[in-house]
Amino acid sequence: MAAIFQGVGAAAPLSSSPSNSFDSNKSVFSPRRSFSVSKRVSFAVVRSDGKVNLNPKGRRDQRLIPNAVATNAGSAAASKQGHELLLFEALQEGLEEEMERDPRVCVMGEDVGHYGGSYKVTKGLAKRFGDLRVLDTPIAENSFTGMGIGAAMTGLRPVIEGMNMGFLLLAFNQISNNCGMLHYTSGGQFTIPVVVRGPGGVGRQLGAEHSQRLESYFQSIPGIQMVACSTPYNAKGLMKAAIRSENPVILFEHVLLYNLKERIPDEDYICNLEEAEMVRPGEHVTILTYSRMRYHVMQAAKTLVNKGYDPEVIDIRSLKPFDLYTIGNSVKKTHRVLIVEECMRTGGIGASLTAAITENFNDYLDAPIMCLSSQDVPTPYAGTLEEVTVVQPAQIVTAVEQLCQ
């Protein structure tokens, strides 16, 4: 599905591994140019055919966001240039590498095999690995998700695809009861190392049922982890980490982000499942976001910088559990929090995050937390209406201005 989409050319992320202590001040004032993958954050249009249009007027004249490869800091990243690809290709690469690495990794879902996946994430895999390893299932989400869980209990490591995340509502029984709880009710005897993944979120006039945000429904299930990818770099990294994890992980992809282009390292790397990603360090306000809203935030950030604000943008990435360390450090620095998400207002990730921050960091807040979410409305088909159900950059700018009064 090709969509011309506007957003910030993927900002190279700074992801800290737990062993390094993250010090945002240090990163702001001492860019590490030695990493070859670092690049400027600029306003760019990424076309679906892969061409990137850099807008020279929009280039921000400021510090580089230094890059750290998620694994060893002293890795060979400096010597290699990396390679460019689109987000769906990054997911495919991650999946393919893990399938090569471990023969127990398999894929199951609708049209993942011969069709190559509805968003081409599994393209070519069936030819390479065979029809059993990349299994085209009948349209029976609850049952094939359960089948994946049974296979995981008996030794395999399935990656279960929901053609659209919304379809996984039909698999809720299996995801909640078995995925989440079975390790516990069996007293730890059986592990469920599955990855449940698929595209979700609001697309371009896909209609209400294809525009759902299931992260809000799944977040209460004990025993599962949820992550959301937003750039080719973290897409590949999270896919690999999720497959290697012994826990059941739900990986949320977004329908509109599949054609994002970025240069990623050649060598093997993963992104830690429990960590958030610092997108843009700042001083005045902490903006927490994930998935597609990251790009709306970065677009708003450009406007805000021109107006003299200095927002700190964090892509929380890990929707369950929250990385309270990265978030907390940021709150302690800026004292103001704005959450921007695509979930509905009621019971969404933002609502949980607001509660978690209030509980843990109330003393550090100078103002109440603001949370911008989608309207509690089934996503309308009409383009004009759809646009106002999700948060737009202009709203983010207004919110920051309000928060920083």
Partner 1 sequence: MAFSTTTANFTSQPFSFNAPSPTSHVKLLITPTSASPFFGSTRKLRLPSSSIFNLHRRSGTVVGVSQVVKEKKPKSTLNLLITKEEGLELYEDMVLGRAFEDMCAQMYYRGKMFGFVHLYNGQEAVSTGFIKLLKQQDSVVSTYRDHVHALSKGVPARAVMSELFGKTTGCCRGQGGSMHMFSREHNLLGGFAFIGEGIPVATGAAFTSKYKREVLKEADCDHVTLAFFGDGTCNNGQFFECLNMAALWKLPIVFVVENNLWAIGMSHLRATSDPQIYKKGPAFGMPGIHVDGMDVLKVRDVAKEAIARARRGDGPTLVECETYRFRGHSLADPDELRDPAEKARYAARDPIAALKKYIIENNLTSEAELKAIDKKIDEVLEDAVEFADESPLPPRSQLLENVFADPKGFGIGPDGRYRCEDPKFTQGTAHV
Out of 322, 344, 352, 391, point to the residue binding partner 1 (CB under 8 A).
Answer: 322
302 counts as binding partner 1 under rule CB under 8 A: no
The count of C-alpha atoms lying within 13 angstroms of the C-alpha of 50, restricted to the half-sphere facing its C-beta, is 7
In the complex, the smallest distance separating the C-beta of residue 142 from partner 1, rounded to whole angstroms, is: 6
Size of the site for partner 1 (CB under 8 A): 62
In the complex, the smallest distance separating the C-beta of residue 75 from partner 1, rounded to whole angstroms, is: 22
Candidate ranges 23-31, 183-191, 196-204, 291-299; the one touching partner 1 (CB under 8 A): 183-191
In sequence order, what are the beta bridge partners of 295? none
215 counts as binding partner 1 under rule CB under 8 A: no
Helices (runs of H) and strands (runs of E) counted in the chain? 13, 17
- Tell me 47's DSSP state: P
In the complex, the smallest distance separating the C-beta of residue 153 from partner 1, rounded to whole angstroms, is: 6
Out of 361, 389, 396, 403, point to the residue binding partner 1 (CB under 8 A).
Answer: 361
Catalytic site residue 183?
no
Candidate ranges 142-150, 201-209, 250-258, 303-311; the one touching partner 1 (CB under 8 A): 142-150
H or E stretch covering 14: none
218 counts as binding partner 1 under rule CB under 8 A: no
Taking alpha carbons only, the member of 227, 251, 232 closest to residue 10 is 232
177 counts as binding partner 1 under rule CB under 8 A: yes
Instruction: Out of 141, 161, 277, 341, pick the active-site residue.
Output: 141
In the complex, the smallest distance separating the C-beta of residue 165 from partner 1, rounded to whole angstroms, is: 19
Candidate ranges 36-44, 80-88, 187-195, 384-392; the one touching partner 1 (CB under 8 A): 187-195
Out of 38, 71, 360, 392, point to the residue binding partner 1 (CB under 8 A).
Answer: 360
103 counts as binding partner 1 under rule CB under 8 A: yes
Q: Which is nearer to partner 1, 58 or 328 (CB)?
A: 328
In the complex, the smallest distance separating the C-beta of residue 286 from partner 1, rounded to whole angstroms, is: 14
Instruction: Out of 93, 96, 183, 210, pick the active-site residue.
Output: 210
Out of 67, 122, 137, 291, point to the residue binding partner 1 (CB under 8 A).
Answer: 137
Six token digits for residue 239: 């896919």
Distance between alpha carbon 157 and the CA centroid of its chain, in Å? 21
Taking alpha carbons only, the member of 64, 65, 74, 63 closest to residue 20 is 74
Query: φ and ψ at 283, to 5 degrees?
Result: -125, -30
For the four alpha carbons of 205, 210, 214 and 217, in that order, the dihedral sign comes to positive
Six token digits for residue 255: 């329908």
H or E stretch covering 262: strand 261-264
Report the C-alpha gap between 113 and 199 in whole angstroms. 17
Out of 1, 3, 45, 147, point to the residue binding partner 1 (CB under 8 A).
Answer: 147
In the complex, the smallest distance separating the C-beta of residue 21 from partner 1, rounded to whole angstroms, is: 7
- Tell me 9's DSSP state: P
Out of 12, 77, 87, 152, point to the residue binding partner 1 (CB under 8 A).
Answer: 152
Report the C-alpha gap between 186 and 153 in whole angstroms. 11
Torsion on CA atoms 98, 102, 104, 106, rounded to nearest 10 = 20
Out of 184, 376, 378, 385, point to the residue binding partner 1 (CB under 8 A).
Answer: 184
Neighbours of 115 (CB within 10 A): 14
Six token digits for residue 372: 């911008």
207 counts as binding partner 1 under rule CB under 8 A: no
Catalytic site residue 210?
yes
If DSSP codes are grouped into helix, strand and coil, which group holds residue 265? Answer: coil
Q: Which is nearer to partner 1, 259 or 334 (CB)?
A: 334
In the complex, the smallest distance separating the C-beta of residue 370 from partner 1, rounded to whole angstroms, is: 21
82: left (phi over 0), alpha (psi -120 to 50) or beta: left
The count of C-alpha atoms lying within 13 angstroms of the C-alpha of 2, restricted to the half-sphere facing its C-beta, is 6
140 counts as binding partner 1 under rule CB under 8 A: yes
User: How many residues belong to the chain?
Assistant: 405
Taking alpha carbons only, the member of 343, 340, 338 closest to residue 375 is 343
71 counts as binding partner 1 under rule CB under 8 A: no
Out of 10, 41, 91, 192, point to the residue binding partner 1 (CB under 8 A).
Answer: 192
Contacts of 74 (CB under 8 A, 6+ apart): none
Out of 275, 277, 315, 342, point to the residue binding partner 1 (CB under 8 A).
Answer: 275
Catalytic residues: 141, 210
Q: Which residues bind partner 1 (CB under 8 A)?
A: 18, 21, 103-104, 106, 130, 132-133, 137-138, 140, 142-156, 173-174, 177-178, 182-193, 222-223, 225, 245-247, 273-275, 318, 320-326, 328, 360-361
